[in-house]
Amino acid sequence: MNAIEIKQLQRIFKTHTGVIKRTAREVRAVEDVSLEIQEGELFGLLGPNGAGKTTTVKMLATLLIPSAGSASVKGFDVVKQADEVRRRIGFIFGGERGLYWRLTGIDNLRYFASLYGIDPDVSKKRIPYLLEMVGLKGRGDEFVGGYSRGMKQRLHVARTLLHDPDVLFLDEPTIGLDPVGARDFRQVILDLQSEKKSILLTTHYMFEADALCDRIAVIDHGRIIALDTPGGLKQHVADLSVVEVETFGASEAIIGGLRALPFVDALSVEETEKHQLLLVQTKRGAEAVPDILAALDGQRLGRVIVREPTLEDAYIRLVGGAV
Amino acid sequence: MRIFTNNLRLFWDGTLLSYRALFHWLRPAQYVASKVFMPLAQMFFFVFLGTFATSAANAGFYIIGNAIQITAVSGIFGVTMSVGGERETGTLPYLFGTPANRLVTFFGRAFMHVLDGMLGVVIAFGWGVILLGLDLSHTNLAALGLTIAVTTLSTCGLGLLMGCLSLITVNVMFVNNFVYFLLLIFSGANVPLADLPNWMQVVSYALPLTRGIAAARSLVAGAPLADVAPLLWAELGVGLVYGLIGYFLFSWFEFEAKRRGTLEVF
Ligand SMILES: Nc1ncnc2c1ncn2[C@@H]1O[C@H](COP(=O)(O)OP(=O)(O)OP(=O)(O)O)[C@@H](O)[C@H]1O
Ligand SMILES: [Mg+2]
C-alpha cells in the first residue's frame, strides 16, 4: 500500500476584491496533481512561490476540501474518512503561529495530547522524550510567548509527533531557523525516516531536498512538471555547466542581452545587497566564459567560476527563473 | 469505555488549559481586579443611578439584577474569548487537524467560565450584603445558589454562540460589548420588564438571564424554590438552545472554512 495517493487533485479558490464594487476572482492553486508516495519514503515537493505546495499539503492534512480529484493517506480518503487520516498524520506549517503563547511548552503539548486522545500515562513519558528530541529539554516550563522563533518551531515538531503518526507533512519546516538549528532539524527528519515514517517535505532549500529526499516532485502553476530522484533530476542538466559571474549593478538590459545569447540555456540572478550573482547554464562549459564576459563588457565584475550543475540548477532549468 | 474516558479527559484538560490559554488571568492581580472590583463598580453605578431615579426602596431590585447579570462577564466575555480567541492564536488549523470530538472540545471551552461566573455572582451578592444593605434573611440560600448556577450555565450557552459568531465575523470585542450591554437592559436587570415596549419584552424572554434574575428576586423576597422552578427550567432550556445553535454553527464554521479556504484568514 502507498502511504499517500493523490489522483488528479485540484483546488480552486474564489476570492473577492474591492469593498463596494466586489469582483470575484478565481485562483487555480492546484490544477492537476497526481502522485504516489510509498511507505517510508521521504518525498520532496519543490516549486516557486504560489506553485500550490501548501495548498496540496492542506488538502492532504484534511484542512481544505479539494475542488476535484481525490487523495488518500494510508488508504483513507482525506475527505470522507478525515478522522481516520487525522489519527495517522502529523503536520507543520513553518512559522511560529499555531501555539498557545500563554501556556508553557509542556502545557501546549498536554493540550494537544488530550485532543489526540493520548493516554496520560503515555503522554507523561512521551512529552519529556519529545522535548529532549527537539532540543527543548529544560525549557518546557517556560511560556511559549517567550520562546524564540526557532524554539516555537521545535515545539511544533514535538506537537506533531505526540501521537506517533505514520505520515508527516512538513511544509517549509526549516524556514527561519539558524544554520545549526536547520542542520539539527534535518537530522531529526532523517531519524524520523529511519523509524519508517513516510514524509512529505516542502522546502525552498535545494541542498536540503538533495540531501534528504528519496524522490522529488517539482510543481509549478499547480501542475507537476518533473518527478524523479535527486540524481535523476540532476541528469536533466548533466550536459550543462554553470558559469557563476559576480556583478555589481548590472542593468536589466545587460542581463537580458546575456540571456538572449544562443549558447545560454538558462540564466538566473541572485541579488544580494552588494552584488548580483548571475548563474549561467550552458553546454559549452568553460569555453563560454570569454563570450559571457564580452556580453558584460564595461561592467564591474567580481569572481567568475565554472562548476558542475547542482539540483538547484536542474530546478532553475525546470521552472525557468530565480528560486 | 476508552472513548468515554478519553472524552472526559479532553473535556477536563481542554477546559483548564484552554481557559488559561485563551483567557487573561495569567496575572493574578488582573484576575482579582476583574473578579472583585468590576462587579462592585457595576453594582454601584446602577444601584445609585436606579435609586436616584426611582426611590431608595428599590435598591434591592438593582442589587439583585446586577449581581446576577455579572455572570455575563464570564459567560459572554470569557466564553467568547475561549472560542473566538483561536483565530488570534492561529491554532485553528492545528485544532481542526486533530480527531478530537468537537462537541466535547466545544462545550469544554465554557466549563471553567461557568465556575468563574458563579464565583463572580457570589462576590457581587457579597458586595450587595456588605455595602448596599441587601437583606438575605428570608432567602432560601440553596435555591439562590441553584439559580446562580442555572443562570450562569444558560449565559455561557449564549457565550458559546457568540464565540462562534466572533470566529466568523472576526470581531470579538465588538460582539462582546454589544451583547453585554444588550443584556444590561433586556434582561430586566435595571428596568422592570413590564415597563419595556412589547417587542423588547419578546426579545427579553428569548435571552438568558431574564428568568434567572426574576427567579432570584422572588427568592430574595422569600419565595420557596417550587415557585421559581418553572423559571429555572425555562432558563436552562434557553441556554441549551443557544449552546446547541452555537455548536451547530461551530461545525458549520469548520466545514465552511475548509470548503472556502478561510481557516487562516484573520
Ligand atoms: N486560502 C486561500 N484563499 C485564496 N487563495 C489562496 C488561498 N491559499 C492559497 N491561495 C493561492 O493559491 C496559490 C498557491 O498557494 P500556495 O500557498 O499553495 O503556494 P506555495 O506553493 O505553498 O507557495 P510558497 O512557496 O510561497 O509557500 C497562490 O496563488 C495563493 O495566493
Ligand atoms: Mg507554501
CATH code of A309's domain: 3.30.70.260
Residue of A nearest to B15 (CA): A111
CA of A52 to the centre of ligand 1 (A): 6
Domain boundary among A196, A215, A233: A233
A104 plus A229 within the same structural domain:
yes
Give me the DSSP letters along B46-92.
Answer: HHHHHHHHS-GGGHHHHHHHHHHHTHHIIIIIIHHHHHHHHHHHT-H
C-alpha A199/C-alpha A186 separation (Å) is 12
A85 plus A160 within the same structural domain:
yes
Residue A166 is assigned to a structural domain of this protein: yes
Residue of A nearest to B92 (CA): A98
pLDDT attached to residue B8: 83
Residue A323 is assigned to a structural domain of this protein: no
Cell of A99: 501555539
Nearest alpha carbon to residue B49 among B212, B196, B184: B184
A183 plus A112 within the same structural domain:
yes
Q: Do B102 and B250 form a contact (C-beta atoms < 8 A)?
A: yes
A176 plus A242 within the same structural domain:
no
**Which DSSP category does B23 fall into?**
S
C-alpha A260/C-alpha A246 separation (Å) is 19
A152 plus A68 within the same structural domain:
yes
Which amino acid is residue A285, in one-letter code?
G
Which amino acid is residue A234, in one-letter code?
K
The residues, any chain, with a CB within 8 Å of residue B171's CB and separated by 6 or more, are none
pLDDT attached to residue B24: 59
A124 plus A22 within the same structural domain:
yes
Contact B263 A64 (CB under 8 A): yes
Nearest alpha carbon to residue A202 among A218, A214, A223, A187: A218
Q: What's the order of all strands across the beta sheet hosting A42-46?
A: A76-77, A68-73, A2-17, A23-38, A223-228, A215-220, A42-46, A198-202, A167-171, A89-93
A202 plus A297 within the same structural domain:
no
Q: Is the CB of A54 under 6 A from ligand 1?
A: yes
A175 plus A243 within the same structural domain:
no
Nearest alpha carbon to residue A2 among A59, A61, A76, A52: A76
- For the cut 50, the answer to whether the pLDDT of residue B26 exceeds it is yes
Which positions in chain A touch B111 (Cβ < 8 Å)? none
Q: Return the CA Rg of chain B.
A: 19
A45 plus A174 within the same structural domain:
yes
Contact B99 A87 (CB under 8 A): yes
Give me the domain span that covers residue A199. Answer: 4-233
pLDDT attached to residue B1: 67
For A230-273, the pLDDT digits (tens) are: 989 988 888 888 999 999 988 888 889 899 899 998 888 888 88
The tally of domains found in chain A comes to 2
Q: Is the CB of A17 under 6 A from ligand 1?
A: no
Domain boundary among A175, A200, A233: A233
Nearest alpha carbon to residue A169 among A192, A140, A149: A192
Q: Give the three-class secondary structure for A123.
A: helix
For B40-73, the pLDDT digits (tens) are: 899 999 999 998 988 888 889 999 999 999 999 8
CATH of the domain at A120: 3.40.50.300
Q: What pTM, to 2 d.p., does this model score?
A: 0.85
A113 plus A178 within the same structural domain:
yes
Contacts by residues B248-251 (CB-CB < 8 Å, ≥ 24 positions apart): B249/B161, B249/B164, B249/B165, B249/B168, B250/B83, B250/B102, B250/B106, B250/B160, B250/B164, B250/B167, B251/B102
Average pLDDT over residues B82-103: 88
What ipTM score was computed for the predicted complex, to two decimals? 0.84
Average pLDDT over residues A19-41: 89
Domain boundary among A184, A204, A233: A233
A169 plus A39 within the same structural domain:
yes
Q: How many contiguous H segments (helices) and E segments (strands) does chain A have?
A: 11, 14
Residue A158 is assigned to a structural domain of this protein: yes
The residues, any chain, with a CB within 8 Å of residue B16's CB and separated by 6 or more, are B112
Which amino acid is residue A202, in one-letter code?
T
Residue A54 pLDDT grade (very low, low, confident, very high; cuts 50, 70, 90): very high
A255 plus A284 within the same structural domain:
yes
Q: Do A150 and A178 form a contact (C-beta atoms < 8 A)?
A: yes
For B108-165, the pLDDT digits (tens) are: 888 889 999 999 999 999 999 999 989 999 999 999 999 999 999 999 999 999 888 8
**What's the whole-number average pLDDT of chain A?**
90
Q: Does A147 touch chain B (CB under 8 A)?
A: no
